[in-house]
Amino acid sequence: MAEQDSWQSLEFEVMSSLDNANIPTEGHKLAEDALTFTKSLWNLMKDQGLQSDSDIPDIQLMEKVIDRIYGELGAASLMFTDESFKGLPALFKGTAHRLSLHTGEDAPPPEIIEGFRDFAIRLENTSKLKTSLLSKP
């Protein structure tokens, strides 16, 4: 509960400093959105296994986690360029297409659909780069 109080104190401090600096209402809204996003991302990372005793976001730790996730994505992409996975880009593009056909409440967020398409393109580009690097003397 003390952590929650600390987070609320931090939010209050940030918002109060904006009040004192005569920041327009738009600035308040942006700051509030940034705080909410940061806290939500922190909670998501903790739910996914991030080890931290604090409920207050640690921006440097979050940056390191994002860098590691990006590295893991690169490693996975490189692994999936193996010949035995050559059909994956088409599979992911097809999945994106099938997901895009869902409408209404059953429709997945567009970011999910784009994620499948983007990963297919990443695999194709990584495969081309790998081939190019391996063919050089």
63 and 115 in one domain? yes
Looking at the structure, tell me whether residues 40 and 67 fall in a common domain: no
Tokens read off for 29: 């809204």
pLDDT tens per residue, range 17-26:
766 666 677 7
Mapping DSSP onto H, E and C, the string for 63-126 reads HHHHHHHHHHHHHHHHHCCCHHHCCHHHHHHHHHHHHHCCCHHHCCCHHHHHHHHHHHHHHHHH
Do 35 and 63 share a domain, yes or no? no
One domain, residues 91 and 108: yes
Task: Name the pLDDT band for 136 (thresholds 50, 70, 90).
Answer: confident
**For residues 126 and 78, is the Cβ–Cβ distance under 8 A?**
yes
Question: How many separate domains does the chain show?
Answer: 2
What pLDDT, on the 0 to 100 scale, is given for residue 46?
A: 86
Q: What is the pLDDT of residues 98-132, one digit of tens each?
A: 999 998 988 999 999 999 999 999 999 999 888 88
Q: Indicate whether 9 and 66 sit together in one domain.
A: no
Burial 32-45 (b: 16+ CB within 10 A, else e): eeebeeebeebeeb
129: part of which helix (H) or strand (E)? helix 110-135
Amino acid 120: pLDDT: 94
Residues 38, 64, single domain; the answer is no
Residues 83, 133 within the same domain: yes
Q: What is the pTM of this model?
A: 0.64
